[in-house]
């Protein structure tokens, strides 16, 4: 198939950018979206141009690095799919495709389709871990956890930190990401000990990074490639209220 691509090109942070148009020719429907971009980049390089910069790593829908907005939707219009798992059979010969980076104040563009998602790292550093001694791996299997709680924790832990929730949210909120990280640890006995401290510190870091507030639009769960729902945000809010009442002073 032959396609027309309109790709956001921006040489660096703080500089202006613009859409540039490229032809993607002889594209196999069996290619992934990133493989299609690889082919386009080969042709750009062959013609002496600057290749399109985009992030990728595992290309298996696990790492969350491949985020970009395709025709106005983070990761494209196919539900429960990362960009690297999106195949060209989802498009038709002659289609025009608009490709741009995730748009959010907290995700500044580094180059072309690459954004700085280090705010997510700092939210995790603020409390997304278990620091108390809980024993080695075999010990974890000796702690009984009811099935429903374990399943909910596993669902929240599926978050890959891609940032699609931020890009889709009209407030550029990262509450779905933060809630997933808080929830999957807080539902487990090993993580309950630090739950109040965790939710206070991680939500405070979320706000300090410049992400917006959640106003229940639901766009985040619509584009999440792992199907994480706003139920986790509801739990985060309940946990935050409880922790704030217990610790009205800032928790360091």
Alpha helices in the chain (DSSP H): 33-46, 118-127, 137-140, 147-157, 164-168, 175-186, 189-192, 195-208, 219-223, 231-246
Measuring CA to CA, which residue among 189, 193, 186 is closest to residue 144?
189
Find residue 179's DSSP bridge partners.
Answer: none
Question: What element of type H or E holds 109?
Answer: strand 109-111
Report pLDDT digits (tens) over 96-132: 999 999 999 999 999 999 999 999 999 999 999 998 7
What tokens appear for 112 in the block?
């072309």
End-to-end CA gap in the chain = 56
* Overall average pLDDT of the 205-215 stretch: 97
- Name the pLDDT band for 134 (thresholds 50, 70, 90): confident
- Name the pLDDT band for 248 (thresholds 50, 70, 90): confident
- Name the pLDDT band for 173 (thresholds 50, 70, 90): very high
pLDDT at position 46, please? 97
All structural domains of the chain with their residue ranges: 3-111, 117-246
Residues 58, 64, 69, 75, CA torsion sign: positive
**Lookup result for tokens 């700085």:** 116
Indicate whether 252 pLDDT > 80. no
Instruction: Say how far apart CA 185 and CA 154 lie, in whole Å.
Output: 10
Instruction: Say how far apart CA 153 and CA 140 lie, in whole Å.
Output: 15
Q: What is the pTM of this model?
A: 0.93
Q: What is the DSSP letter of 88?
A: G
Q: What is the DSSP letter of 114?
A: E
Indicate whether 139 pLDDT > 90. no
Q: Which CATH superfamily is domain 117-246 in?
A: Alpha-helical ferredoxin (1.10.1060.10)
Q: What is the DSSP letter of 170?
A: T
Do residues 185 and 124 lie in contact, with contact meaning Cβ atoms separated by under 8 Å?
no
pLDDT at position 251, please? 63
Among the ranges given (154-158, 180-184, 191-195, 200-204), the one the predictor scored with the smallest mean pLDDT: 191-195
Rg of the chain (C-alpha set):
20
What tokens appear for 58 in the block?
């595992």
Instruction: Say how far apart CA 132 and CA 134 lie, in whole Å.
Output: 6
* Overall average pLDDT of the 158-176 stretch: 98
Residues 225, 229, 233, 239, CA torsion sign: negative
Instruction: Say how far apart CA 140 and CA 182 lie, in whole Å.
Output: 19
Residues whose CB falls within 8 Å of the CB of residue 61, separated by 6 or more in sequence, listed in order: 81, 82, 84, 85, 160, 225
Domain 3-111 matches domain 117-246 at the CATH topology level: no
Do residues 97 and 3 lie in contact, with contact meaning Cβ atoms separated by under 8 Å?
yes
Mean pLDDT, the chain, integer: 95
Indicate whether 136 pLDDT > 70. yes
CATH fit for domain 3-111, picks 3.40.50.300, 3.10.20.30, 3.40.630.30, 3.40.50.360:
3.10.20.30
Q: Percent of the chain beyond pLDDT 70?
A: 98
């Amino acid at each position: 198939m032959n396609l027309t691509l309109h790709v956001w090109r921006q040489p660096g942070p703080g500089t202006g950018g613009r859409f540039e148009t490229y032809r993607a020719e002889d594209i196999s429907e069996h290619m992934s979206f990133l493989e299609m971009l690889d082919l386009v980049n080969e042709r750009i390089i062959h013609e002496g141009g600057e290749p399109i910069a985009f992030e990728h790593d595992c290309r298996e829908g696990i790492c969350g690095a491949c985020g970009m907005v395709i025709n106005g939707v983070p990761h494209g219009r196919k539900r429960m799919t990362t960009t690297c798992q999106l195949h060209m059979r989802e498009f038709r010969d002659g289609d025009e495709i608009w490709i741009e980076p995730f748009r959010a104040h907290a995700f500044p563009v580094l180059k072309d389709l690459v954004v700085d998602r280090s705010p997510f790292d700092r939210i995790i550093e603020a409390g997304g871990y278990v620091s108390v001694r809980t024993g080695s791996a075999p010990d974890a299997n000796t702690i009984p956890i009811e099935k429903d709680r374990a399943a909910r924790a596993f669902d929240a832990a599926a978050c890959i930190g891609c940032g699609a929730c931020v890009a889709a949210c009209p407030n550029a909120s990262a509450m779905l990401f933060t809630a997933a990280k808080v929830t999957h640890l807080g539902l487990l006995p090993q993580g309950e000990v630090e739950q109040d401290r965790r939710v206070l510190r991680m939500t405070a870091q979320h706000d300090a990074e410049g992400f917006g507030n959640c106003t229940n639009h639901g766009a985040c769960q619509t584009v999440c490639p792992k199907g994480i729902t706003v139920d986790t945000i509801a739990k985060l809010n309940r946990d935050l209220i409880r922790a704030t009442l217990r610790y009205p002073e800032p928790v360091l």
